[in-house]
A = this chain, B = another copy of it.
Amino acid sequence: MSGSIYGRLFQVSTWGESHGAAIGVVIDGCPAGLKLQESDIQAFLNRRKPGQSKYTTMRQETDQVEILSGIFEGYTTGTPISLMVRNQDQRSRDYSNIASVYRPGHADYTFTQKYGFRDYRGGGRSSGRETIGRVAAGAVASALLNELGIHICTYAKSIGPICVDESDYHYNEINENKLYMPNNEIAKHASEYLDKMLENSDSAGGIIECRVEGLPVGIGEPVFDKLDSCLAQAIFSIGAVKAFEIGDGFHVAELNGSTNNDAFYVKDNEIHKKTNHSGGVLGGMSDGDTLIFRTAIKPTPSIAQPQQTVTEDKKNTELVIKGRHDPIIVPRAVVVVESMAAITIADLLLQNMHSRLDGIKKFYDC
């Protein structure tokens, strides 16, 4: 791993800035023989595209992906897969008044301290557009997981203070509202909340939840590359994430062993758990149950309200951010969370293959 390379066997190398020529990703380690075409990837990218609702940014991009390598006659060849999306609508003039100012809540300050200067246009590498590479790679990882009977379902559990309780989950409604909430009714209330945010030139955050079904038991590499460790890193690498939890999450701090342990039982010669407080991870490895995790996304920092801040040459100043900005990024982040989960799980599925000698001998016909 490195700054822009994630994974050990299924490796993802992202590149590109908001206002550069293009944004993309190179996937190294995807096994050969996977059926893959541009539309598979485009479907994922369309879920993060700007301009989907009145609440997401008005930047006009078609975000058409191009497969540059790694596919032959419709199947992956086992060689690196290079995917690219050209930037089209990069209106630099929108950012001129912030070129020498550190926007609160953004990486401007830290980036400049680290590198000496920054591409100030649109957030540069810290821009939400950087997620294009992750999502494109996530589409490939998901195709691989589907072949192995593993499916991921991701949604906005809460937008601001409006939350969907588990008892109100209608999974089929996730794609029926523009906020990707698992309940159309509650999504309406969230909409009204966001209308207020737009009026107040403010923004909101939310919580995204993700469930993975079909994982074999034992996925994860103790002790440092545990399934939950790797997921935590992957999800936290998404901009604006400030929290991550598995299963009962922070609530475990108030439980007792008797209320938190998941009892085992056998049915039809298969082992099951009575409850799922663990969230599908035990000892850092998948336990056969649904993998459940949640992450909190902070409110979009770019708001039109006047803010106190400083200039690059250390003078106090007031900033009013102009231009087009998301009052909420949670809906667009849903597919990003799903993508990072897919990439992480794909990587660990590959790593798990060499855990036992008998499995290796069987693979090599010994």
The interface residues of chain B lying within 8 Å CB-to-CB of A234 are 224, 229
The interface residues of chain B lying within 8 Å CB-to-CB of A250 are 207, 242-243, 245, 250, 296
Interface string of A238-254 (1 = CB under 8 A from B): 01011111111111111
The interface residues of chain B lying within 8 Å CB-to-CB of A68 are 15-16, 20-22, 24, 84
> Would you give 10 A-B contacts (Cβ < 8 Å), ordered by A?
A5-B11, A15-B68, A22-B68, A24-B82, A32-B116, A77-B117, A109-B217, A160-B253, A245-B296, A264-B309
Contacts A79-B4, A205-B255 given: A245-B246 contact, CB under 8 Å?
no
- A236: contacting residue among B15, B232, B260, B364, CB under 8 A: B232
Is A26 part of the binding interface, using a Cβ–Cβ cutoff of 8 Å?
A: yes
Is A93 part of the binding interface, using a Cβ–Cβ cutoff of 8 Å?
A: no
Q: How far is the CA of A70 from the CA of B125 in the complex (A)?
A: 9
The interface residues of chain B lying within 8 Å CB-to-CB of A100 are none
Q: How far is the CA of A125 from the CA of B76 in the complex (A)?
A: 12
Q: How far is the CA of A286 from the CA of B111 in the complex (A)?
A: 10
Whether A1 lies near B6 (C-beta < 8 A) is no
* Partner-contacting stretch, out of A52-60, A167-175, A180-188, A271-279: A271-279
Whether A147 lies near B357 (C-beta < 8 A) is yes
Whether A287 lies near B252 (C-beta < 8 A) is no
Q: A15-B26, A269-B314, A353-B363 are in contact. List 7 more A-B contacts (CB 8 A).
A: A2-B221, A3-B221, A6-B224, A15-B28, A17-B72, A204-B256, A205-B256
Whether A33 lies near B1 (C-beta < 8 A) is no
Q: How far is the CA of A283 from the CA of B79 in the complex (A)?
A: 14
Is A230 part of the binding interface, using a Cβ–Cβ cutoff of 8 Å?
A: yes
Contacts A77-B117, A245-B243, A282-B106 given: A252-B28 contact, CB under 8 Å?
no
Is A350 part of the binding interface, using a Cβ–Cβ cutoff of 8 Å?
A: yes
